[in-house]
Amino acid sequence: MSPDSSVKNPSFEVNTAEYTGPFHLLADLVAKRKLDITAFALAEVTSEFLEYIAKFPSLSQATEFLVIAATLLDIKAARLLPGMVETEEDLELLEAQDLLISRLIQYQTYKEAAGFIAYNWDEYGSAMGRVPGAEPLLKGVLASLKTTIDCEDLARRAAGAIFATPPQVLVAHLHDPLVSVTEQSQVLTERLRQAGSLTFRQLVADAKTLPVIISRFLALLDMYRHGHLSFDQEYPLGKLVITWVGKPVDSTETVESDDSDAAFSDAEGEWQ
């Protein structure tokens, strides 16, 4: 910033019959349609500006005048066209007029933003930020930090927290007895011989755990495979009726039932 930046030239003002005031406000009035640009003498304003710029040479003032004057001239030319829209060229001219007005509003917005930046630069351009400390009255209130560990101890504790393994819950001490398929087969054989026919729901009605139900189901399948039972079900997922057909059980079937116990143990382990 130059040393004489504090000395500013007076802004250019317009003094005509239609408008008196700063030139940049003229653009606002035209954009807001509060001033009829068709009745405004731009030639007279241009002559006044040439006298002004001769007294106070300023590149920024000249640039601003050229932008606003050229925009106002285009708007005036567009508004002097006939009011009836008859051809595509007329529509294009009206669209150009709206574009010029929006350009004028955009120019004014940038001008205000530049003024805001310039003001803050003049006021606070030489200011330097700093991080303030605590107030003198509060310094005595804050407790001093005292450390009881060194860097190595802190590193060890941090490593232990980061790489700590999750605790493992041991279940080896829990007792989960297996249900023998052979024993359940004997229970089912006795009940079916006495009753003749029972539903599956009746056969497992006294079962208190899921492993007992599974074991009795496997026993029924084994007994059916050897021809001791017959199954009757009227429709899919309907009531299953098991009937004893009276074939005696031999010793070889008992051995095969023991194999079913082993298979049930493996299946129960996977189920758990």
The model's pLDDT over 142-201, given as tens digits with 9 standing for 90+, comes to 677 777 888 888 888 888 888 888 778 777 766 666 788 888 899 999 999 988 899 999
pLDDT score at 241: 92
Range of the domain at 231: 181-244
Residues in the chain: 272
Q: Tell me the per-residue pLDDT of 235-260, one tens digit each, with 9 for 90 and over.
A: 888 888 999 987 655 544 443 444 54
CA-to-CA separations, 15 to 32, 42, 44, in angstroms, rounded? 20, 12, 9
**pLDDT higher than 70, residue 51:** yes
Q: Identify the weakest region by mean pLDDT among 28-37, 47-56, 60-69, 119-128.
A: 28-37
6 or 120, higher pLDDT? 120
* 53 domain-assigned: yes
Read off the CATH number of the domain in which 238 is found. 1.10.10.580
**pLDDT higher than 70, residue 30:** no
* 11 domain-assigned: no
* 237 domain-assigned: yes
* 223 domain-assigned: yes
pLDDT score at 96: 67
* 55 domain-assigned: yes
**pLDDT higher than 60, residue 265:** no
Which of 206-233 are b and which e, b meaning 16 or more Cβ less than 10 Å from the residue's Cβ?
A: ebeeebbbbbbbbbbebbeeeebbeeee
Mean pLDDT of the chain: 74
pLDDT score at 243: 92
- DSSP tag of 244: E
pLDDT score at 168: 82
Domain boundary among 85, 108, 131: 108
Domains held by the chain: number: 2
Of 15-19, 57-61, 92-96, the range with the highest mean pLDDT is: 57-61
* 122 domain-assigned: no
Do 216 and 203 form a contact (C-beta atoms < 8 A)?
yes
Query: CA-to-CA distance for 71 and 27, rounded, in angstroms?
Result: 9
